[in-house]
Amino acid sequence: MIQASGLRKHYGETVALDGVDLHVREGEIYGVLGQSGAGKSTLLRCVNLLERPTAGTVTVAGQDLTALGGGELNRARQRIGMIHQHFALLSSRTVAGNVAFPLEVMGVPRAERARRVAELLELVGLDGRGKDRPHQLSGGQKQRVGIARALAGNPDVLLSDEATSALDPATTQSILALLKRLNTELGLTILLITHEMGVVKTVCDSVAIMSEGRIEESGAIAGLIRTPGSPPDQGDLPAARARPARRGDADVHRRSGPAGRVGGRAEVRRGREHPGRLDRGTGGRIGRAAARRARRRRDRRGAGVPA
Amino acid sequence: MTWEEMLPLLWPATVETAQMVGWSTLFTVLFGLPLGVALVVFDRGGLRPMPALKSALGFVVNIGRSLPFIVLMIAIIPFTRLVVGTTIGTAAVVVPLTAGAVPFFARLVETALREVGTDVVQAAQAMGAGRTAIVRKVLLPEALPGLVAGLTVTVVALIGYSAMAGTIGGGGLGDLAIRYGYQRFETLVMIVTVVVLIVIVQLLQSLGDWVARRLSHK
């Protein structure tokens, strides 16, 4: 679905991408993992040509984007959704107005737009919030608006630029669960970049590990994690140590089919002990604080369990 | 001079000031807004980088900004005659007022547009929005509170300019203050004119602030 070959991107003397090949298959969730400055953001932005690569080609859904320009490129981009770390919503528009934006750009008539916006908001669990302003929403809700907006044009591909990095752990899990559900229900191909190992373990089918503008290693996630000596196994990346698997992880897998395919059995067991505990009956501040403490306790225990 | 004598002078002068400021505000927005947009769009790293054009526009804007209004007003008299056929009267004053305010407002528009985050602009590009759509649907709406604030400052500046313009036959409150208050030693006229100007500026600024606040959804 996405095929990048020989991608290079130079900013003057700085080499951001040093010959990257990437192949994302249709219907999979592909994670690019790496630390800040590894070039993963540049890579993602080269996929929809927000950055024009210095060399190399990018093909999305059979179309060579690097050969396009102007209006043709804009039309191709309408088939590629993107979500952002800081949501990038328009504060001048309502939630519905934000979701309608890409439809306006595509020239969809007003009545059709309204129908589609309502449909999308329902899909991401925000029905009835259309008239709100983005600043009235929580971070997780803002990202849901971002996702609805990204899906407006029925894209083949969704690009996720650190979409959960600005969110707290529980919200991260709910957003990842949503992405996984969209992947399964709509067959949406997702390319996501992240510095959090947990994100990759939770939702990704394949992963590429990037550093210094190169892909160090890539493949199906299960194989990579089990390979002794591979970066995720060693916890080379600080993120891998800092964020062990959580209860929510198991939650995601239960909802999305074959449990334990990515996460381990231990996670699933832990998940079943406290089904949906964070989501229910913890409205008060004390309740939330207690839930946080409980989660930390479980995390400490969980840290010793191999994933 | 008594109040009965003063009111027939004060009211027409206020109306003249309003006319001068009103028309020149309209033309200032008409020319200054596109100019401000151009300064942002053609800039290096803008939506359509054309650094040479941007520098040229910036140079012209700076010339306009470096002339004191009273000098500009007299310097462009030939141009004024060309446009409205005369150099005296309220209509003639609108030309130098607009010429003086356009560069000022354009810079304020530029600043307001630069406040719009690059992330929303890039998000719009990622959604396949073209340049025109980004200007019309992203930059201008997102910057609207800042644009209103800039316009308020411009209108207040125009009221100040219009007082100077009064001296070349434009009439208005400034003209009244100078002819009666200064040249005829009518201190009361001077004081009343000053008070009227202060009240007008305060009201306009409050109105501008209120509108900008209503439009802001941060």
* Predicted confidence (pLDDT) per residue in B125-170, tens digit: 999 999 999 999 999 999 999 999 999 999 999 999 998 887 777 8
Are A135 and B137 an interchain contact pair (Cβ–Cβ within 8 Å)?
no
Instruction: Classify residue A36 by burial, with Cβ atoms within 10 Å: 0-12, 13-18, 19+.
Output: exposed
H helices then E strands: how many in chain A?
Answer: 13, 10
For A240-285, write each residue's pLDDT tens digit: 333 444 444 433 333 333 333 343 333 333 333 333 333 333 334 4
What contacts B56, CB < 8 A, 6 or more positions away?
none
Interface probe with B: pick from A78, A87, A105, A135, most Cβ of B within 10 Å = A105
For chain B, the 3-state helix, strand and coil shares in percent, each to the nearest 5, are 85, 0, 15
Report how far residue B36's alpha carbon sits from residue B29's, in angstroms, rounded to the nearest whole number.
10
Query: Is A135 at the interface with chain B, CB within 8 A?
Result: yes
Maximum pairwise Cα distance, chain A: 57
**Bridge partners of A57?**
A5
β-pairing verdict for A29-33 and A206-211: parallel
Q: Tell me the count of A-B CB pairs closer than 8 A.
A: 69
What's the pLDDT band for B45 if we cut at 50, 70, 90?
confident
What's the pLDDT band for A3 if we cut at 50, 70, 90?
very high
Residue A197, pLDDT above cutoff 70: yes
CA proximity to A144, closest of A155, A156, A129: A129
- Whether domain B3-215 has CATH 1.10.3720.10: the reply is yes
pTM score > 0.90 for this model? no
Residue A238, pLDDT above cutoff 80: no
β-pairing verdict for A55-60 and A2-11: antiparallel
Give me the residues of A, 90-119, that contact B with CB < 8 A.
90-93, 101-102, 104-106
Residue A127, pLDDT above cutoff 80: yes
Residue A113, pLDDT above cutoff 90: yes
Kindly list the domain boundaries of chain B, sorted by start residue: 3-215
